[in-house]
């Protein structure tokens, strides 16, 4: 069926909530922009606290675009405006910078 069509979202009006289980990020806050009820694909804004550290193995492809702060992905520094794609099944280390970070994240099937 796919994700329902939405014309406009005002993310600044959405509350921050704990990241959902399918994002696999304990201690990270999220705003869910879209979620496909059939396959679990989603679009999220994720807010990482300073120094957050996680080793992830995601069953799906993930794309992230850094909106604020910085993230280290397997040691590569991603600052505001940086984009990364991580293939499904790959294990990777993600660390938030000293001031934390906010990313636009897409998890797809």
Q: pLDDT for 35-62, tens place per residue?
A: 888 888 899 999 999 999 999 998 999 9
pLDDT for residue 35: 87
pTM: 0.89
H or E element in which residue 61 lies: strand 61-73
pLDDT for residue 40: 82
Q: How far apart are CA 79 and CA 64, in angstroms?
A: 11
Q: What is the pLDDT of residues 98-108, one digit of tens each?
A: 999 999 999 99
Is residue 69 within 8 A of residue 77, CB to CB? The reply is no
């Amino acid at each position: 069926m796919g994700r329902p069509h939405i014309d406009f979202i005002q993310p600044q009006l959405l509350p921050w909530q704990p990241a959902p289980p399918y994002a696999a990020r304990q201690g990270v806050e999220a705003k869910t922009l879209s979620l496909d009820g059939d396959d679990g694909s989603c679009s999220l804004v994720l807010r990482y606290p300073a120094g957050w550290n996680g080793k992830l193995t995601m069953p799906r492809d993930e794309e992230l675009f850094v909106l604020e702060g910085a993230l280290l992905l397997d040691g590569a520094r991603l600052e505001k405006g940086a984009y990364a794609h991580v293939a499904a099944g790959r294990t990777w280390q993600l660390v938030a910078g000293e001031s934390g970070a906010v990313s636009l994240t897409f998890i797809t099937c």
